[in-house]
A and B are shown apart, each in its own frame.
Chain A
Amino acid sequence: MIEYRIERRSGVSTYQQIVQQTKQALRLGVLQPGDKLPTAREVVEQTAINPNTVLKAYRELEREGLVEPRPGLGTFVRRSLARPGAAADGPLRAGLVGWVDEARAAGLDREDIAALMASVLEQRFETGVPAAPHGSTGPEGPAATD
């Protein structure tokens, strides 16, 4: 079970906060396939937010194929977002650690690195640059063909 923390002054809409916290829990394995999300009633009683907001967030998660409503039972997790490459011992993380060390050695501080990272993410995701074919540039080298 997950408990949502709603920060009203964060500038992020309450609906987005629920979507993001659910996805975060799916990435970290706090929520796994088959787990039940709290009911709208449970969420709003504890957080004092609008019930329609919770339902809207759950519909968004459903549209993304992450959860499914089972009539009369509740809303259940369909699939996990945990990615093997992003795990604590995964190769993507190791690559990023190396890059951050390089950036620090080049004199960038934490805020510089965060700003650079945000800017690159913005550029690569917002302008519709398609992801490179999987495996072509990863640290693990070319993917085995089958």
Chain B
Amino acid sequence: MADTTSVPGAAIPAEDRPAVEAVGLGKRYRRDLWALHDCTFTVPAGRICGVVGANGAGKSTLLTLAARLIEPTEGELRVFGEALSTPESRARVAYVTQEKPLYPSFTVAETLRVGRELNPGWDEETAQRVIDMGELPGRARIGALSGGQRTRVALALALGKRAELLLLDEPMSDLDPLARHELMGVLMAEAAERGTTILVSSHILPELDGVIDHLLLVQAGRIRLAGDLEEILDGHQLLTGVADGAELPAGTAVERRVRGRQVTALLHTGEPVDGPWESTRPSLEELLLAYLRTPLPTAVTAPDREAVA
């Protein structure tokens, strides 16, 4: 599970410096409605972290907490080591929400100008390039743009801000495939050049494959999986075999499905399994789908998680 033992002030290599650290983090909206509960995880700086989960799992709440737009009800959240929000710390973070709040009566050029005036480290060239790639005229009013075009303007603002942490909530959902590929390329180039940490939520799973190198799987307000993506994939295997064959090792099956005589199971263990099984490393999509199909029956799976952690 997430590493919470790092000592502040210790000599940590730049790439292992945590960008976001949560300890026992939770958010309750109404008396009994916990959107997030008891979340502990670390995202090292320079990672591209996928925040994945079903609708209503708590992805947006997690990103909104990281952006410090809401206060946690419980636990602690540090962004680049800082537990509290300051003007300096806010300048290091950019957040693109699903709603993309922009002034509808402003033009594209006016919107970029606001970004320039409000952000001391403004990168006009990058922001303008993102706008130009979409062939958006500067005089177009935000209110007259399509959803995908507004997304482009919101991403241009976020990239122009030169933030060290980009929080993107379903950024690509209303873009066409070409714009999606193009803007993901711009985001990745930005990360390559500046070592930007990106937390990106998405429910379009193939969109994240090859893009993310870190994973937070949010399920029913809890963190089900957190860590380096390669390590997570190495720690799982997809088994196929005959249904009345050997037993699966106890306590490791995330999901077990039977189709006729064939049984398929996703195991949370990298250890080789005895028996007449064919074992493969799951793809990101196979892993995520297996978890998403099997919601945590409260408390029952907790021992499993500990046994294999």
Which A residues are within 8 Å of any B CB, using their own CB? 6, 8-9, 11, 14, 39-41, 44-54
Contact = CB atoms under 8 A, between A and B. Distances in A.
Contacts of B48: 50, 52
Decide if the interface of chain B is mainly helix, strand, loop or mixed: helix
B96 interface: no
A51 B188 contact: yes
B151 to A, nearest CB: 16
Contacts of A44: 185, 188-189, 191-192
Interface stretch (B23-31, B53-61, B205-213, B267-275): B205-213
21 contacts: A6-B210, A8-B209, A8-B210, A11-B283, A14-B210, A41-B189, A44-B191, A45-B185, A45-B189, A47-B185, A48-B182, A48-B185, A50-B48, A50-B210, A50-B211, A51-B188, A51-B189, A51-B191, A51-B192, A52-B47, A53-B213
B296 interface: no
B181 A50 contact: no
B49 to A, nearest CB: 11
A49 B206 contact: no
Interface residues of B, number: 20
A46 B192 contact: no
Nearest to A40: B192
Nearest to B182: A48
A16 to B, nearest CB: 11
A74 B184 CA distance: 23
Contacts of A39: 192
A50 B189 contact: no
A44 B185 CA distance: 6
Contacts of A53: 210, 213
